[in-house]
A = this chain, B = another copy of it.
Amino acid sequence: MTELRKDPVADRWVIIAPDRAHRPITTSVTETGDKKGGDPSNCPFCEGFEHLTPSEVFSCRKEGSEANQPGWSLRVVPNKYPALKTEGEPALHKKGLYEKMDGIGYHEVIIESPLHSAEFSTLPVNRVAETFMAARERIRFFKRDDRITFTQFFKNHGARAGASMPHIHSQIIALPIAPKSLSEEIRHAEKKRGDLKRCVYCKIIETEIGIGDRIVFKNSRFVAYAPYAPRFAYELWITPKRHCAGFEYIDDTELSALAEIVKNVMMRINRTLDYPAYNMMLISAPFASPDAGSFHWRLELAPSISRVAGFELGAGMHINTVPPEEAARILREVEL
């Protein structure tokens, strides 16, 4: 049983996925996800243990190597303990005040390298680019499934950031519904576009480059900066310079530039915060969003230094003890 349920007062969806309670939490995941994490001798994400995962749905492999055999640099496999099931129709069931759907969708794992202790800051740029290419290809695949309206690509690195496996990986969840917070941001962006007569995100990038205080690094295609009102200490946003609502439209040149900037800022974060646990989240327009022309995708990076506690959960507001100008200056000044 897996269900999508909507809270009738907070008006938000949750995924109720009891089967996921059976997934193993590898005790060898260290809190911060540093190099000491884990014994690779029985890791299902390591090369040679392909039989321990569901069959791959995408991979980057040496010419001539066979699916689900060694010879790969990246594999995408269905999550063995998925939050959603792929078969069925996402019909809405209403009973009085309560609404639910069967938990239809996809939940996949991107195994980002055969190297157990690899990390974005230590992989070559073209290997980091494979992760984003795989995400693009899977999102394009999900977009062709009429039942799916939204995908969330994300990475949990280190137990403190919610990782249950130490081997380098990220995840994609594809859903028949779009999250409320994203729909609201898009509606807000549409309104701002009306006021400004241009994309508010393009305007922000221009403003930030002009001020400079919150910029950490930029290259030909992307800007990495500490946003004006970050929820977390050392939170960074990586935004494409080209106005584009959906990550699935990223081109190959942008993929390389994105990999370069992600590797660069991860090196800075690791040097500054001593290899912290962190989350990485793609914020990209749902597939069927009427106002998506006003939206502009981004990648968010949030080191797991502070914890989400009662104030954050109650008020939905965050307390951040590191001003973004200070975080950006420290990260900008790191010698690589």
Contacts and interface: CB of A to CB of B under 8 A. Distances in A.
Interface of A: 1, 3, 5-21, 83, 96-98, 150, 152-156, 160-163, 171, 173, 175, 179-182, 184-185, 188-189, 192, 200-201, 203-204, 207, 227-231, 279-283, 300, 302, 306-311, 313-324, 326
A11 B310 contact: no
Contact of A319 (B17, B180, B311): B17
B316 A160 contact: no
Nearest to A296: B9
A318 B11 contact: no
Given A156-B310, A308-B162, A313-B302, A320 B15 contact: yes
Nearest to A1: B323
> Which among A150, A162, A200 has the greatest number of chain B C-beta atoms within 10 A?
A162
Contacts of A323: 1, 3, 16, 18
Contacts of A156: 309-310
A145 B21 CA distance: 47
B182 A316 contact: yes
Contact of A307 (B160, B185, B320, B326): B160
Contacts of A21: 321-322
A270 B37 CA distance: 31
A63 B302 CA distance: 51
A287 to B, nearest CB: 14
> Which among A9, A173, A281, A307 has the greatest number of chain B C-beta atoms within 10 A?
A9
Contacts of A318: 14-15
A279 to B, nearest CB: 4
A231 B310 contact: no
Nearest to A278: B310
A173 B321 contact: no
Nearest to A227: B7
B154 A185 contact: no
A204 B9 contact: yes
A317 B9 contact: no
A209 B109 CA distance: 41
Nearest to A317: B179
A162 B315 contact: no
A7 B226 CA distance: 12
Contacts of A179: 315-317
A299 B19 CA distance: 29
Contacts of A310: 154-156, 161-162, 171, 279-281
Contacts of A322: 18, 21
